[in-house]
């Protein structure tokens, strides 16, 4: 095992990773519902958008709190140095810099962009509801489209941030980005479902659609998790052996029960039973349960993936 | 860009005196830190924010069952492809005109991403300043044309400072000489510019396998595959998106259901 | 480090790199501190108040304990005062201490060299003629085989660069040490031997060289006393069961009557150049070491025969015309009840292999503190005066005539000794020293006995209440002394103690000792009545002066920064004290006070300087020597004007016309404004690899001593590869790469000279300081003319070579329970004590944060096997005990100590670095005093302690 140093990132970062993922997923669903859904599905768009905005807002705050020098959070985006000296294919734009190879730098930009889009989209929805006269459709369309792209980005980048470190497990867990994105999608939509399940029957149509969507996300999540393990297994022993912490070590309970049991199996069983065989006859209570399972499982999955790398 | 500078640490003549460690603290005015019991002569198990040169004492027995004590003065490798530098979101970590890697204390915001991204565990977080530290390659000396403090003080010239090309040639000669003397286990680490990380500007002559010294056998630049990873993520994104689209395009189904 | 320095090339060891924290250090004391009798705290006092009180106490104690006459002999001795100079002080400072101390009548006068390298001086002195390292460190690079028997890499890291350079060139390195150290890590072969068995190891090599005819025959015949015939009555331990001829059990002493050469009718020594005569030194040597077989080495040292033979074969190959080998040693040979003989055995090996006086050869006596060599040269040692004349003994030297007759040899260069002594007395007592009063010989104190006054005697004398006042400068005896716990009890019996140091060291703070782990060591200040003065000192960087390093190189350093606060040089302290004593004694009619009143004591300090710093160049000038009046040649032409510097020791006269403080340093300051110690030129002539223009090496800037040996009998170099100096027939003088350590124009075939300073020496007498001009294989010492192995006083086995277990003439102090010896049944483990690169001796490093932080605390190194036997895990706290005391520390379980098989039985061996004490800048710097374990035992010649080989027991936990 080579001598390495752990960044010792706190739970706070973990929570942030979870929330931006959730925000991304929710905004994505909102966008899709807006464009492809029926008129009734506007509720999904609204819930999704507001939810995304709410979930991402504390993000920057958490990040800044965790910095050794919070006052310098803007340095994430600005540096008085020539791009040529600060990394591969880095570029300066005025006082700003972009470092494609630095997941954290790109993430900071994406978070900023995503925040703006989510805010504007939310604003358009709000104004429309206020019964405004001007047609905000095109604006929302534009920012919605960009927003969705960025939504995927913010959901995925924390995973890639970890897989591009030198830490054991992480450094070989190449599909972590994919996994985090899938979790973002599943948990984002599960939260929407949870909220809808508290509404009246008028939303049940949309609810069913959301459920179908998140079920697919959960399946992707399962596949990504398997991919992660396959990737790590190919890594050197000192890195691969860390997987043991999950399968049999200190995190095995959280992993098997939390990530696998609660996060994947339980919701899938429920959804498949009800969805495919019973045409979504189950009551909203069950929906609430399923989405809660997905949320808890999703969080724990990210939690163990995060923990295993820091040892 | 000026001719690349380097340090060549030849562990075959290191006597583990730790003068380099102290000289580094003296030049950079790093405070003494509380030593920890490591089971042997080391006062710290690895680099810290205050220990930028770190002498390792590795005890083992050789094939003839005689004791063997590997002595190595470790330091930031000043990688040509540097994980810390690529990771740094603020650009605090930069490549000096001499090809070495340094951290601007006035820019670093203490995010610790570099700490996680160095394949050699060099960068360390300083809780006092809220920033990270590592070997600066004595920029304040080298830019004045002086050699690094650790190299200057080394009694046996185990640490040599100079131009990379010259030192690399020297290292190859030294290796050949040792091999000629029958020292099979001797090997160069990081001297090859076509090797891992495009070569290290602080490279080593080791007397055993890199792993024995706690060095990665073949260090990788962690960020290298980032776009491959991104493709994977994008793929997943598309599937998730399609899934949602399919779900929302779907007519009927839940539409009529749902009443109690 | 100065990058231009040819010896260091600018490199430093960790201690050197951290000197910054010696000066810039918040724990450094800068104000005088006073501790009143019974008090439990320090009080700050003005410097003048302190000095006034100290001077009065010195006078009081001197007057109360002064002995003027004994057995109708003027002895002018003051037994109540003890003085400890130090080998960290400059030459000039030590010289002033010796000068003032002797004038005060002090005989308890020592410096750390006593417990460091004291055995080196007689061992090298008797064997080669001078008590100093024979070679030059740069020259080590020229060796074909290097055998460090000390921990060279850890204790002399900077000079070790030359070993590494030699290694890079392909030289073989053999490290001899019971413990695998950082030196072993760089060696080709590690040869572990049990502590204290070095004579068997070297004796084994000598035997091997002789039996296998590996010795350098022509060299041995030409330059050693091998061919000399010895009195037929002389017998060696081979024939007398472990003793030499003449042992007197009652006196624990030898009658040396038969330990002498056979003389022919006209008084010349008889020789047999064929080395066949059974009474010739060579045959006696051969017979003596015939018992030191490889099997014996295995049984006694625990070094497997096969490995020994491998080592012997490699080392003995470094011999003959075109090969040389060098050996380092330091404490492992010195600190033993056989100290002198252990060193002699090494020297003799080098002599028979022809490795003295030749490039890449020599005996590398690695000295200790920055200035052990200089402090020794300057005679802050109980047994000698500056420049190596002995310190007069009451019974042997009642009169000046006795002294000269017994001290000055009849042949060899030391026939000049009389002149040196007279010039020294002139330097000290000026016009008061006249031919009529025998140059004031009476002023010099006379020792009552040869068996007294050494470091250990001093501590016992304190314990017994004989010594009442103690001045300790630059040394920490509370930690560095053997049986240190006993020593600290002695301090408590003193009326007063003066310490000058950079830090509050354990010696000054003995009255508030805290047992760190071994709590029962703590003391109650109220019970201690000693009045203590702690004065702030200044390290080398803060004063002018010279230091003489291990290769006799005298290097001047100038003040770089002002000492902070009231801190001042040690020279200033003694100069100030001397001036005050002169005032206090002014007008005294008493004869006993003449030495102080007549003492030449004017070093022209600036009257406005409250610190009274003397002009150090003036001290160096006095050391170098000057004319006391105009000196005229035959034609009556003035050759030296009054006060003019002497160009070298050749100019020293015995008629009082010259004054010279220390003859061997003569030439270092040949003219006003030409201080050669301050010279810093690198090699000016090409090929001058020893850089003769860098500073000045005594004597006469010779870098390799006895270099006449680098040429064969006919004066030609032994080989092109190993040439140094040779005889140039045209020019009729010795020429080459070094200053000849020989009469420059004495032809190789010249017969013995009849007169002049070289009288008695001929063209082959390369060892000019020896009466016979030869390297001494046969060299009478207190315990025999050949080194014979005796076990350390604490040993796991009886002596396998003879019935005589321990050195029959060595000293074991009888102080009851305070000095009990351990037996193997209760104390089965062999213990040795040593240093670490990062720490400095008795504690300087413990006041330097960077160094203190290099280890997590006091520890003992033990083998896995011993650990398993005692259920000890790496990192456990353990208790190490001897009959003298016990300490608590951490166990470092390591491969680097291994179990020895001694005479077929398993013997555990462990070691403890001895640097720790109860004061320091951080918890890691604080620990029990290792020396509380060591016994009060002394080598018969120098009374150096046995701190490298003792017995102990180990238990898990703090018990
Ligand atoms: N068990 C065991 N005991 C040993 C030894 C061993 O090997 N084993 N080794 C022995 C040997 S070789 C030696 S030399 C002694 C060493 O023992 P010490 O000589 O007592 O060791 P140091 O701690 O170096 O003491 C030097 C002191 O001088 C102070 N000092 C430094 N420079 C100056 C100066 O310019 N002026 C003044 N006034 N003070 C100054 C330092 O602060 C320090 O306190 O220990 C001996 N004791
Ligand atoms: N870093 C550092 N360097 C120093 C000093 C210091 O305090 N710290 N002190 C200086 C002083 S004062 C001195 S005198 C010198 C001392 O220099 P050294 O004598 O080299 O130092 P030590 O560590 O006391 O002892 C050397 C070795 O002797 C080994 N030994 C014990 N018994 C025997 C034996 O019977 N035979 C053999 N062959 N080896 C044996 C010990 O294991 C130890 O490794 O160092 C000087 N240099
Ligand atoms: S200074 Fe040189 S010899 Fe000493 S530890 Fe450092 S690298 Fe090794
Ligand atoms: S060794 Fe680590 S810290 Fe040093 S340059 Fe390479 S990646 Fe950066
Ligand atoms: S901690 Fe400082 S140097 Fe390291 S990555 Fe963050 S900003 Fe850059
Ligand atoms: S180069 Fe300078 S900063 Fe780096 S380790 Fe050496 S001394 Fe320290
Ligand atoms: S302590 Fe000794 S070895 Fe170290 S730098 Fe000073 S003189 Fe050189
Ligand atoms: Mo010493």
Which one of C11, C87, C158, C540 would you pick to mutate in the ligand 7 pocket, going by the greatest count of ligand atoms within 8 A of its CB? C158
Question: Exposed, middle or buried by CB within 10 Å (0-12, 13-18, 19+), for A252?
Answer: middle
Q: What is the mean pLDDT of residues A34-46?
A: 92
* Contact residues, chain A, for B57 at CB < 8 Å: none
A310/A308 Cα distance (integer angstroms): 6
Tokens representing residue A82 in the block: 């020539």
The shortest C-alpha distance from A228 to chain B (Å) reads 11
CA C493 vs CA C402, C463, C908, C933: distances in Å: 38, 6, 39, 21
C690/C702 Cα distance (integer angstroms): 10
* Pick from C190, C855, C875: CB nearest B39: C875
C301/C298 Cα distance (integer angstroms): 6
- pLDDT score recorded for residue C787: 98
pLDDT band at A212 (very low <50, low <70, confident <90, very high): very high
Using H for helix, E for strand and C for coil, what is the string for C765-811?
CCCCCCCCCCECCCCCCCCCCCCCCCCCCCCCCCCCCCCCCCCCCCE
Q: B88 or C689: whose pLDDT is higher?
A: B88
A32 and B248 within 8 Å at the Cβ level: the answer is yes
- pLDDT score recorded for residue A285: 84
pLDDT band at B14 (very low <50, low <70, confident <90, very high): very high
CB atoms near residue C780 (< 10 Å): 16
Q: DSSP alpha helices (H): ranges in chain A?
A: 11-36, 42-56, 58-66, 103-129, 137-163, 176-196, 204-234, 237-240, 243-247, 252-253, 266-271, 278, 284-310
B13/C317 Cα distance (integer angstroms): 24
* Pick from B13, B19, B35: CB nearest C17: B19
H or E element at residue B27? helix B19-28
The least confident of B193-197, B252-256, C178-182 is: B252-256
C688/C717 Cα distance (integer angstroms): 17
Which one of C177, C205, C840, C848 would you pick to mutate in the ligand 2 pocket, going by the greatest count of ligand atoms within 8 A of its CB? C177
* Contact residues, chain B, for A206 at CB < 8 Å: 254
Check if the interface score ipTM surpasses 0.85. Answer: yes
Contact of C641 with C647, CB cutoff 8 Å: no
The least confident of A62-71, A230-239, B250-259 is: B250-259
B118/B85 Cα distance (integer angstroms): 9
Q: What is the mean pLDDT of residues B131-156?
A: 96
Q: How far is the CA of C115 from the centre of ligand 2 (A)?
A: 12
Q: What is the mean pLDDT of residues C817-845?
A: 96
Name which of A238, A239, A168 is nearest A7 in CA terms.
A168
A157/B236 Cα distance (integer angstroms): 13
Tokens representing residue A251 in the block: 């995190």
B125 and A8 within 8 Å at the Cβ level: the answer is yes
C446/C425 Cα distance (integer angstroms): 15
Q: Whose CA is nearest to atom 22 of ligand 1?
A: C842
pLDDT, tens digit, 9 for 90 and up, residues B20-44: 999 999 999 999 999 999 999 999 9
The shortest C-alpha distance from A118 to chain B (Å) reads 17
Residue with tokens 């000598």: C206
Which one of B82, B83, B90 would you pick to mutate in the ligand 5 pocket, going by the greatest count of ligand atoms within 8 A of its CB? B90
CA B203 vs CA A152, A246, B1, B100, C346: distances in Å: 41, 36, 21, 12, 42
Check if C13 has its Cβ closer than 6 Å to any atom of ligand 7.
yes
Contact of C103 with C471, CB cutoff 8 Å: no
Q: What is the mean pLDDT of residues A231-243?
A: 95
* Pick from A68, A69, A280: CB nearest B254: A280
CA C237 vs CA C244, C246, C259, C283, C801: distances in Å: 5, 11, 13, 14, 9
Which one of B113, B126, B127 would you pick to mutate in the ligand 5 pocket, going by the greatest count of ligand atoms within 8 A of its CB? B113
The residues, any chain, with a CB within 8 Å of residue A200's CB and separated by 6 or more, are none
Residue with tokens 């800048």: C921
B236 and A220 within 8 Å at the Cβ level: the answer is yes
- pLDDT score recorded for residue A295: 98
- pLDDT score recorded for residue B1: 58
* Contact residues, chain A, for B86 at CB < 8 Å: 87-88, 99, 101-102
Residue B260 has pLDDT above 50, yes or no: no
| Mean of the per-residue pLDDT values of chain C | 96
Query: Is B176 in the C-facing interface, judged by CB distances under 8 Å?
Result: no
pLDDT band at A282 (very low <50, low <70, confident <90, very high): low
Q: How far apart are the first and last CA of chain B?
A: 76
Q: A285 or A115: whose pLDDT is higher?
A: A115
Q: What is the mean pLDDT of residues C296-301?
A: 98
pLDDT, tens digit, 9 for 90 and up, residues C837-877: 999 999 899 999 999 999 999 999 999 999 999 999 999 99
Contact of C703 with C739, CB cutoff 8 Å: yes
B153 and C180 within 8 Å at the Cβ level: the answer is no
Contact of C126 with C155, CB cutoff 8 Å: no
Q: Whose CA is nearest to atom 5 of ligand 4?
A: B78
CB atoms near residue C264 (< 10 Å): 10
Residue A279 has pLDDT above 70, yes or no: no
Residue A132 has pLDDT above 80, yes or no: no
- pLDDT score recorded for residue B176: 96
B117 and A165 within 8 Å at the Cβ level: the answer is yes
Interface of C with B in 860-879 (CB under 8 A): 874-875
* Pick from C164, C853, C894: CB nearest B43: C853
C81/C605 Cα distance (integer angstroms): 27
- pLDDT score recorded for residue A286: 87
Q: Whose CA is nearest to atom 3 of ligand 6?
A: B135
pTM: 0.94
A28 and B240 within 8 Å at the Cβ level: the answer is yes
Residue B63 has pLDDT above 90, yes or no: no
The least confident of B195-199, C387-391, C694-698 is: C694-698
Interface of C with B in 151-180 (CB under 8 A): 153-154, 157-158, 160-161, 164, 167-168, 170, 180
DSSP B2: P
pLDDT, tens digit, 9 for 90 and up, residues C528-566: 999 999 999 999 999 999 999 988 999 999 999 999 999
Q: Of the ligands numbered here, which is closest to the C-alpha atom of B118? A: 4
Contact of A56 with A19, CB cutoff 8 Å: yes
Q: What is the mean pLDDT of residues B55-69?
A: 93
- Please state the atom number of ligand 3 nearest to the C-alpha of residue B159: 7
Q: How far is the CA of B88 from the centre of ligand 5 (A)?
A: 5
B254 and A205 within 8 Å at the Cβ level: the answer is yes
Q: What is the mean pLDDT of residues C272-289?
A: 97
Q: How far is the CA of B137 from the centre of ligand 6 (A)?
A: 5
The shortest C-alpha distance from B197 to chain A (Å) reads 13
- pLDDT score recorded for residue B256: 39
Residue B72 has pLDDT above 90, yes or no: yes
Residue C211 has pLDDT above 50, yes or no: yes
Q: Which of the other chains make 3 or more beta carbon contacts under 8 angstroms with chain C?
A: B
- pLDDT score recorded for residue C409: 95
Q: Which residue in B216, B227, B247 has the most chain A C-beta atoms within 10 A of its own C-beta, making it the best mutation to test that interface?
A: B247
C154 and B17 within 8 Å at the Cβ level: the answer is yes
Tokens representing residue A18 in the block: 């979870």
pLDDT band at C348 (very low <50, low <70, confident <90, very high): very high
Residue B254 has pLDDT above 60, yes or no: no
The shortest C-alpha distance from C814 to chain B (Å) reads 39
Q: How far is the CA of B182 from the centre of ligand 3 (A)?
A: 24
CB atoms near residue C231 (< 10 Å): 14
* Contact residues, chain B, for A9 at CB < 8 Å: 112
The shortest C-alpha distance from C353 to chain B (Å) reads 26
Q: How far is the CA of C135 from the centre of ligand 8 (A)?
A: 19
* Contact residues, chain B, for A81 at CB < 8 Å: 91, 94, 104, 107
């Amino acid at each position: 095992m080579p001598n390495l140093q752990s960044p010792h990132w706190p739970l706070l970062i973990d929570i942030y990773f979870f929330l931006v993922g959730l925000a991304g997923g929710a905004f994505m669903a909102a966008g899709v519902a807006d464009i492809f859904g029926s008129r009734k599905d506007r509720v999904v768009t609204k819930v999704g958008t507001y939810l995304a905005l709410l979930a991402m807002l504390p993000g920057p705050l958490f990040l800044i709190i965790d910095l050794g020098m919070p006052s310098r959070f803007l340095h994430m985006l600005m540096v008085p140095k020539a791009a040529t000296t600060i990394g591969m294919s880095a570029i300066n734009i005025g006082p700003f810099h972009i470092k494609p190879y630095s997941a954290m730098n790109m993430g900071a930009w994406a978070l900023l962009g995503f925040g703006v889009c989510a805010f504007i989209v939310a604003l358009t929805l709000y104004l429309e509801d206020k019964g405004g006269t001007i047609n905000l459709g095109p604006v929302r369309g534009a920012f919605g489209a960009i927003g969705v792209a960025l939504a995927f980005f913010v959901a995925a980048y924390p995973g890639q941030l970890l897989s591009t470190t030198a830490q054991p497990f992480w450094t070989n867990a190449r599909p972590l980005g994919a996994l985090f994105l899938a979790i973002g999608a599943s948990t984002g939509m599960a939260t929407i479902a949870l909220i809808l399940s508290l509404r009246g029957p008028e939303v049940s149509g949309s609810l069913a659609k959301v459920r179908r969507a998140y079920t697919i996300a959960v399946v992707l999540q399962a596949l990504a998790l398997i991919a992660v393990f396959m990737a790590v297994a190919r890594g050197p022993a000192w890195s691969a052996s860390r997987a043991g912490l999950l399968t049999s070590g200190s995190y095995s309970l959280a992993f098997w029960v939390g990530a696998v049991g609660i996060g994947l199996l339980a919701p899938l069983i429920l959804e498949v039973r009800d969805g495919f065989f019973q045409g979504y006859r189950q009551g909203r209570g069950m929906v609430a349960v399923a989405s809660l399972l997905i949320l808890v499982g999703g969080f724990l999955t990210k939690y163990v993936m995060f923990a295993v790398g820091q040892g | 860009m000026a001719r690349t500078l380097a340090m060549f640490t030849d562990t075959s003549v290191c006597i583990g005196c730790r003068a380099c460690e102290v000289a580094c603290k003296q030049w950079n005015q790093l405070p003494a830190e509380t030593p920890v019991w490591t089971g042997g002569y080391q006062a710290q198990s690895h680099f810290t924010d205050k220990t930028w040169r770190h002498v390792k004492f590795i005890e083992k027995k050789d094939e003839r069952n005689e004791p063997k004590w590997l002595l190595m003065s470790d330091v930031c490798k000043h990688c040509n492809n540097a994980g810390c530098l690529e990771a740094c979101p603020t650009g605090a970590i930069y490549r000096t005109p001499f090809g070495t890697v340094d951290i601007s204390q006035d820019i670093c915001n203490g995010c610790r991403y570099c700490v996680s991204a160095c394949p050699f565990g060099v960068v360390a977080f300083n809780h006092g300043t809220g920033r990270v530290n590592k070997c600066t390659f004595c920029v304040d000396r080298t830019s004045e044309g002086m050699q690094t403090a650790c190299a200057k003080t080394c009694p046996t010239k185990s640490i040599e400072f100079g131009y990379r090309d010259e030192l690399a040639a020297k290292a190859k000669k030294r290796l050949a000489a040792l091999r000629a003397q029958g020292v099979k286990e001797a090997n160069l680490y990081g001297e090859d510019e076509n090797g891992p990380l495009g070569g290290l500007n602080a490279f080593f002559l080791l007397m055993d396998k890199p792993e024995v010294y706690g060095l990665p056998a073949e260090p990788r630049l962690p960020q290298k595959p980032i776009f491959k990873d991104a493709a994977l993520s994008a793929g997943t994104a598309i599937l998730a998106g399609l899934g949602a689209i399919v779900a929302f395009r779907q007519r009927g189904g839940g539409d009529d259901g749902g009443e109690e | 480090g100065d990058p231009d320095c040819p010896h260091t090339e600018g490199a430093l060891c960790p201690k050197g790199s951290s000197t910054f924290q010696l000066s810039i250090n918040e724990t450094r004391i800068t104000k005088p501190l006073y501790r009143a009798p019974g008090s439990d705290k320090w009080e700050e006092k003005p410097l003048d108040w302190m000095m006034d009180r100290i001077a009065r106490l010195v006078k009081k104690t001197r007057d109360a304990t002064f002995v003027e006459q004994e057995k109708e002999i003027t002895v002018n001795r003051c037994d109540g005062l003890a003085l400890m100079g130090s080998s960290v002080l400059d030459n000039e400072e030590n010289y002033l201490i010796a000068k003032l101390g002797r004038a005060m009548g002090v005989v308890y006068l020592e410096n750390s060299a006593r417990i460091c390298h004291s055995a080196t001086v007689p061992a090298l002195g008797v064997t080669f003629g001078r008590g100093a390292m024979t070679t030059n460190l740069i020259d080590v690079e020229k060796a074909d085989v290097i055998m460090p028997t000390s921990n060279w890499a850890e204790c002399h890291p900077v000079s070790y660069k030359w070993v590494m350079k030699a290694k890079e060139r392909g030289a073989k390195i053999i490290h001899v040490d019971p413990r695998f150290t950082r030196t072993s890590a760089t060696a080709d072969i590690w040869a572990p031997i049990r502590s204290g068995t070095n004579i068997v190891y070297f004796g084994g090599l000598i035997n091997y060289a002789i039996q296998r005819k590996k010795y350098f025959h022509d060299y041995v015949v030409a330059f050693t006393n091998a061919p000399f015939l010895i009195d037929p009555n002389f017998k060696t331990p081979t024939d007398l069961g472990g003793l030499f001829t003449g042992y007197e059990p009652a006196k624990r002493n030898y009658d040396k009557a038969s330990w002498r050469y056979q003389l022919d009718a006209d008084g010349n020594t008889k020789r047999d150049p064929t080395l066949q005569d059974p009474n010739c030194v060579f045959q006696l040597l051969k017979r003596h070491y015939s018992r030191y077989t490889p099997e014996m080495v295995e049984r006694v040292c625990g070094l497997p025969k096969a490995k020994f033979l491998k080592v012997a074969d490699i080392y003995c190959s470094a011999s003959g015309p075109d090969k040389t080998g060098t050996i380092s040693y330091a404490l492992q040979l010195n600190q033993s009840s056989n100290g002198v003989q252990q060193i002699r055995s090494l020297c003799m090996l080098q002599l028979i292999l022809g490795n003295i006086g030749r490039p890449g050869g020599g005996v590398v006596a690695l000295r200790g503190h920055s200035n052990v060599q200089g402090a020794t040269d300057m005679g802050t040692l109980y047994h000698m005066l500056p420049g190596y004349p002995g310190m007069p003994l009451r019974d042997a030297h009642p009169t000046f005539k006795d002294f000269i007759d017994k001290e000055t040899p009849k042949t060899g260069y030391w026939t000049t000794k009389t002149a040196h002594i007279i010039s020294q007395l002139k330097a000290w007592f000026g016009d008061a020293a006249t031919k009529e009063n025998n140059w004031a010989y009476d002023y010099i104190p006379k020792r009552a006995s040869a068996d007294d006054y050494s470091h250990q005697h001093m501590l016992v004398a304190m314990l017994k209440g004989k010594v009442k006042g103690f001045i300790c400068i630059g040394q920490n005896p509370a930690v560095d002394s053997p049986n240190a716990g006993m020593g600290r009890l002695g301090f408590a019996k003193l009326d007063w103690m003066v310490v000058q140091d950079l830090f509050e060291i354990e010696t000054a703070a003995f009255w508030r000792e805290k047992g760190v782990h071994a709590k029962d060591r703590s003391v109650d200040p109220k019970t201690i009545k000693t009045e203590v003065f702690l004065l702030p000192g200044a390290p080398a960087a803060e004063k002018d002066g010279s230091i003489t390093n291990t290769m006799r190189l005298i290097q001047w350093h100038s003040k770089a920064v002002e000492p902070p606060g009231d801190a001042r040089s040690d020279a200033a302290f003694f100069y100030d004290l001397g001036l005050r004593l002169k005032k206090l004694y002014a007008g005294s009619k008493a004869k006993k006070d003449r030495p102080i009143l007549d003492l030449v004591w004017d070093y022209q300090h600036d009257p406005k300087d409250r610190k009274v710093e003397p002009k150090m160049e003036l001290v160096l000038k006095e050391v170098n020597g000057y004319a006391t009046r105009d000196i005229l040649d035959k034609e009556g032409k003035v050759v030296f004007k009054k006060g003019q510097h002497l160009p070298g020791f050749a100019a020293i006269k015995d008629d009082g016309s010259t004054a010279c403080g220390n003859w061997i340093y003569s030439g270092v300051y040949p003219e006003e404004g030409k201080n050669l110690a301050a010279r810093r030129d690198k090699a000016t002539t090409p090929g001058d690899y020893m850089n003769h223009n860098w500073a000045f090496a005594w004597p006469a800037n010779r870098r390799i001593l006895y270099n006449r040996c680098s040429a064969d009998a006919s004066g030609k170099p032994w080989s092109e590869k190993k040439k140094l100096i040779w005889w140039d027939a045209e020019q009729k003088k010795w020429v080459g790469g070094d200053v000849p350590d020989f009469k420059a124009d004495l032809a190789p075939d010249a017969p013995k000279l009849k007169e002049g300073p070289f009288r008695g020496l001929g063209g082959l007498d390369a060892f000019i300081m020896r009466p016979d001009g030869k390297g001494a294989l046969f060299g009478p010492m207190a315990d025999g003319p050949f080194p014979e192995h005796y076990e350390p006083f604490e040993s796991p086995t009886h002596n396998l070579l003879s019935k005589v277990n321990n050195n029959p003439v060595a000293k074991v102090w009888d102080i009851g329970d305070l000095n009990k010896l351990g037996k193997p049944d209760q104390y089965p483990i062999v213990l040795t004590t040593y240093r670490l690169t990062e720490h400095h001796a008795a504690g300087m490093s413990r006041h330097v944060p960077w160094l203190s932080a290099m280890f997590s605390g006091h520890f003992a190194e033990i083998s896995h096997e011993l650990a398993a036997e005692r259920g000890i895990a790496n990192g456990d706290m353990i208790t190490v005990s001897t009959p003298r005391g016990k300490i608590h520390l951490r166990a470092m379980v390591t491969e680097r100590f291994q179990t020895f098989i001694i005479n077929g039985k398993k013997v555990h061996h462990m070691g403890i670095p001895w640097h720790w004490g109860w004061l320091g800048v951080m918890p890691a710097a604080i620990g029990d005093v290792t020396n509380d374990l060591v016994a009060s035992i002394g080598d018969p010649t120098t009374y150096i302690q046995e701190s490298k080989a003792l017995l102990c027991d180990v238990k898990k936990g703090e018990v």
